[in-house]
Structure 1
Amino acid sequence: MAENKIPYKIYLDEKEIPSQWYNVRADMKNKPAPLLNPGTLQPMKAEELYPVFCEELVAQELNDTDAYIDIPEEIQNFYKMYRPSPLIRAYFLEKALDTPAKIYYKFEGNNTSGSHKLNSAIAQAYYAKKQGLKGVTTETGAGQWGTALSMACSYFGLDCKVFMVKVSYEQKPFRREVMRTYGASVTPSPS
């Protein structure tokens, strides 16, 4: 059967790593509802988001017109440490579902954070550093986001404070210690 000639894993070359992020909002006919200020219930202005997000990230979040946003070269170079990750054909799932569909999934577990979250964390840390911030504070549930952000902050020399869900803090000491290995302070929440 010719279909069996499709490999289980498809790898891209580093040259094929995207140099731009795709902004789906630009192509949406019906734009998403605006973020609302919880105090006034009015659409939030960019300056209202600055205390929480870097200015560049606010601009990207509110961008409804540009379909593509250039990925800074420093972020692209960081991505090359663990990307491209393989695209995997799910033959056994296709068989179990008895479907003619061809099902693929992306494996993102080949980086320290164990998930896709590092793709976003490195960009957030990059823009924080570029804006002149000295560090970032975040929350994490089971620890993947905290691990990703602590790794990104370590790379850019930023302080990282992580508040981790207390039950995960106690049940997942490995995740907690990986964050600390990257220099993050990790506090159980509630504490």
Structure 2
Amino acid sequence: PFMRHKIKDGKNTEFIAAEPESCPKLTRGKFEYDFGDEAGYTPLLPMYTLGHDFKPANIHAGGLRYHGAGMIISQLIKDGYMHGVDIPQSESFEAGMLFARTEGIIPAPESCHAIAATIREAIKAKEAGEEKVILFCLSGHGLIDMPSYESYINGDLHDYAVSDDEIKKFLATVPEV
């Protein structure tokens, strides 16, 4: 609901979309028309994509493992109204643990990426000596994700980063329009 103030009134608000480092469609993908599904049955959709054949690592934020970004978010990023950041899985869960300890809410792993990005912004503001209002979206609780938190606590979660060569290979599958 706040984006309209930036678009219509020119408000200087920064919008950040957080994503996993292992599926960096917004930060390292391409804005192309691609299929919304792996099989290639859907109509072609304009989005930031890693290619519909992209096979992400089996991270614990399953809702963020999709090869493409939503069309609206993609267009807003393409037009310069927002930008993406990618967050390693361990930083994401560290942020989720901090949030759970301080707020009493166990966030879903998908939400932990937004929390980690928020913590980054708060640290930047503190280091710059500026006051900043930071708002983020907590999109869900992590009560069914407790085994993921247990894996993090036990040191069994690992960060996955996609190489430039892998991204190039999967982007080659995007259809020519």
TM-score (norm 1): 0.27
TM-score (norm 2): 0.28
| Higher relative contact order (CA closer than 8 Å, sequence separation 6+) | 2
Kindly name which structure, 1 or 2, has the bigger radius of gyration based on alpha carbons. Answer: 1
Bigger share in strand: 1
